[in-house]
Structure 1
């Protein structure tokens, strides 16, 4: 088997659903073709805890040698892959979740003060909990508690997991310095990326042109595309399409609105093109996604 991705290496597997976007899974490298999982990315944060053996884990341009009892924080939208160390198998638990579980809604004080400094830090790809610092042990303890909660599946499962995720984030916030030294050109480009993302967030429901985005950050169209792909690891307009798809999910599962109206609200002029794009991003049609999510939550 192998991780299923689209042509831009975005993983197609759902990590939970809109109402509780979290997935905890037991993994083993030997179950993948070539004893490794391919490069891929997803919009969620991923926490990886090695439970047996060792593995080589790569995130963007960083490489980690993870041993049993160690863990790794992979930020949202980072490319990552994993393989065996010296042909030895490795078992690990993956905890993948949408950061909105932590902050509830954008521009809340929780988002602005505690979450944004991590997920909006374009130079922060990963954090390795290799037990070299005392607080790493507390992180590992919390991850093991989340795994136990998942195994027990009590009636208060979602609340119990959320409490532990908040504990995890508190420890992270109190101990990890998100201010990293970067060069002036890099800092300028990061600001450009943030400005592009802000522009997309405000205008995704309307028609967006490359000229508008380039003018917004005062550079030429070619440089705009180059910088965005360099730092976000995805072409600019592919990102906009996937952002629109993500924004449409709430209406799909919380309203009885037609697919055509939902598509229009998300910035698609053609409902057929919306459905075509939705399938490429999510691996199913909007209607199938709606039925599957509603059935799961009954």
Structure 2
């Protein structure tokens, strides 16, 4: 998988399912993505990752974690996350995305699944193969991938057995779950501000407008971006414009000047300068190479 669509509030639009099951399992080589990395996004599905080559840095709800070959990661439902290759490792991973309602049967969902999805102290878990419970999860990911590929008789049942094993190993690790309504509100405000930027990035964007979208003061807005995305609001706008321009340069015949204005820059020279800082080459070189 080397490209996926996200909507204006960063929700991934990919339908994560096979023909019969509400889950998807696929391999991703990070630097082969259309952006050269996995851009910031979220989805309702829970996600399990197993690195099968190289190393990658994942960012989840403002935290950064490096995942080495053989280890993995659990990313909870609704969490903002992105991934970059730990250059030059050609990081490749198996990604298992599962609808939370498919993890256990409905009678057990309320007791054994929902509390983990709502826990504000569980945005992700590092799955280190040296830990027996994590190793069980990592091996089950491979099993599910094989079941889906081979589609042998009763593979659907075998898949659900492995999912139950995965969830049981996650629960018996003994996590103390917490729920903080204030943190939920903060995460929602961050998504509201990002949504506003993605709707208005082609226009003149002011810090006041971004802050207003999240019902925050300008200083508090800056703190949100610094804490979660490790950048300023206006730097995020510039980087998002560059990301959108890279797609247009690949997919259209528009000139560099036309693209620069389409994504909100009012100066072609400034666009070229910023593009080179982010992408490491000029827009024209990037367009020609693709």
TM tier relative to shorter chain: 0.5 to 0.7
Aligned partners of 2:3, 2:158: CA distance in 1, in Å? Answer: 31
Distance 2:125 2:79 in 1: 12
Q: Are residues 1:234 and 2:191 paired?
A: yes
Unaligned runs of 5+ in 2: 196-290
Q: Which residue of 2 aligns with 1:56?
A: 57
1:124-167 CA deviation, whole Å, 9 max, x = no partner?
10011023533222222222222222232113121111110011
In 2, the alpha carbon distance for the partners of 1:188 and 1:47 equals: 25
Alignment of 1:115-154 (within 5 A): 115-154=113-152
Aligned ranges 1:207-286 → 2 under 5 Å: 227=185, 230-231=187-188, 233-235=190-192
1-side partners of 2:53 and 2:30: how far apart? Answer: 11
What is the deviation of 1:37? 1.0
Give the conservation status (yes or no) of the 8 Å contact 1:122–1:231.
no
Matches of 1:154 and 1:141, distance apart in 2: 19
Q: Could you list the per-position Cα deviations for residues 13-51 of structure 1 after superposition, in whole angstroms to 9, with x for gaps in the alignment?
A: 110179621011111112113421100111100111111
Q: Residues of 1 paired with 2:26 and 2:134: CA distance?
A: 22
The separation in 2 between residues aligned to 1:101 and 1:31, in whole angstroms, is: 30
- Is the partner of 2:140 in helix, strand or coil? helix
Q: Which residue of 1 aligns with 2:175?
A: 177
Q: For this pair of structures, how many residues does the alignment match?
A: 193
CA contact (8 A) 2:122 2:177 kept: no
Q: In 1, distance between residues paired with 2:154 and 2:50? A: 23
Q: Which runs of 5 or more structure 1 residues have no equivalent in the other structure?
A: 181-185, 194-226, 239-298
* Contact 2:116 2:177 (8 Å CA) reproduced: no
Structure 1 residues 67-106: aligned runs within 5 Å: 67-105=68-106
How big is the shift at 1:3? 2.6
Equivalent in 169, 189, 208 of residue 182 of structure 2: 189
- TM, length-normalised to structure 1: 0.59
CA shift digits 1:47-77 (9 cap, x unpaired): 1111111111111111111111111001001
* 8 Å Cα contact 1:3/1:37 also seen in 2: no
What TM-score comes out, normalization by structure 2 length?
Answer: 0.61
Alpha-carbon distance change, 188 to 140 in structure 1, aligned in 2, over 3 angstroms: closer
Residue 115 of structure 1: how far off its partner (Å): 0.8
Q: Distance in 2 between matches of 1:45 and 1:130?
A: 18
Contact 1:50 1:67 in 2 (8 A): yes
Residues 1:167 and 2:160 aligned together = no
